[in-house]
Amino acid sequence: MIGIGVDIGGTFVKLYVMNDHGEIFRQEKIDTEFSKGASGFIAQIGDFINAIKAEFADQRVAVAVGAPGDVDPHTGVLRYNPNLKFTNVKDWPLADQLEKYTSIRPYVANDATLAAWGVYETDLKRQGTNVLIVTLGTGVGGGLILNKELYQGSNGTAGEIGHTKIDDPQTGPLCGCGAHGCLEAFVGTIGIKRRALQSAQDHPQSILAKILQGQDSFKVAQVAQAAEQGCPEALAIWKDIGHYLGIGIANAVLLLDLDTVVLTGGVSGAAPYFMPALKHVLESQQIQTPFKKLKLCISKNPNMGGVGAAMYGIYRAQQELRK
């Protein structure tokens, strides 16, 4: 069986072709075509799928598409997506249109959800029964595997750990979603930047302030670099991030009694600096049972969006064949 994974981003579409042994034998990154509208975009992806279909005419080809924003996995409709600029994407029937073009019914889901499946297959080899995957980047996303199956919730929006509240929704820091007090406002890249710039202003002689001064644009890696050089201000920022991330993860573990939590995304690279504070929050919980055997790990495979989509397409197609 062949799986095609399509990872739609605001700038690029990433395409992966895999077989059911987990081998990737093609990957492409193409500029997202906005000028020809929605139909041009469908043709762009559809032509790729049709070429693969012709090349592997003797095999079944499964397609899964990961898209950011609000996606309905049952109907394959993109309910809302602010990043696709060719149209005001509201209730766009992506699965129907792509099926019409390729004669393959694609599986469409939120990109973070499919990336989570990729982490589950690649990092965990499907070990772990109830798993939360947290993606730490500009956004803080999540994906859930419950009873060894991808859990998407009633509407396809499950896993939005970044927008669970860990502070007052009136007075807490502002999140990218427009609300206050979300976990993402504390541990997402924008939150880290806010803290780092404030710290540099308050402590202009610090290592962190000096590193930031010489740079045009802010990168989370600069805060990690300062921590590596022993900068107390940078270490304090990471300690806080670990603390808040710990609160968010503890809430999820208490709610779902998870056995595994995997951190992925760019910010997870700074784990050596935030992990002690994170673990401290988990160890300090009054109800200890769900935390005692909890496996907490960092993904070795970043950018699982397209690969996760291809793997999930294959997984679903195999399930259907078994029926």
Confirm or reject binding of residue 255 to Zn ion (CB under 5 A). no
Confirm or reject binding of residue 136 to Zn ion (CB under 5 A). no
Q: Which of residues 177-196 bind Zn ion (CB under 5 A)?
A: 177, 179, 182
Q: Cβ 175 to Zn ion, closest distance in Å?
A: 3
Confirm or reject binding of residue 163 to Zn ion (CB under 5 A). yes
Q: Which of residues 219-238 bind Zn ion (CB under 5 A)?
A: none
Q: Cβ 179 to Zn ion, closest distance in Å?
A: 5
Q: Which listed range, 33-41, 138-146, 176-184, 189-197, lies at the site for Zn ion (CB under 5 A)?
A: 176-184
Measured from the CB atom, is 142 or 290 closer to Zn ion?
142
Kindly determine how many residues on this chain lie close enough to bind Zn ion according to the rule CB under 5 A.
5
Measured from the CB atom, is 185 or 207 closer to Zn ion?
185
Measured from the CB atom, is 175 or 250 closer to Zn ion?
175
Measured from the CB atom, is 89 or 182 closer to Zn ion?
182
Q: Cβ 187 to Zn ion, closest distance in Å?
A: 11
Measured from the CB atom, is 141 or 246 closer to Zn ion?
141
**What span, in angstroms and rounded, lies between the C-alpha atoms of 143 and 135?**
8
3-state secondary structure of 244: helix
**What span, in angstroms and rounded, lies between the C-alpha atoms of 300 and 16?**
19
Q: Which of residues 281-320 bind Zn ion (CB under 5 A)?
A: none
Q: Cβ 116 to Zn ion, closest distance in Å?
A: 19
Please give the residue ranges that form the binding site for Zn ion (CB under 5 A).
Answer: 163, 175, 177, 179, 182
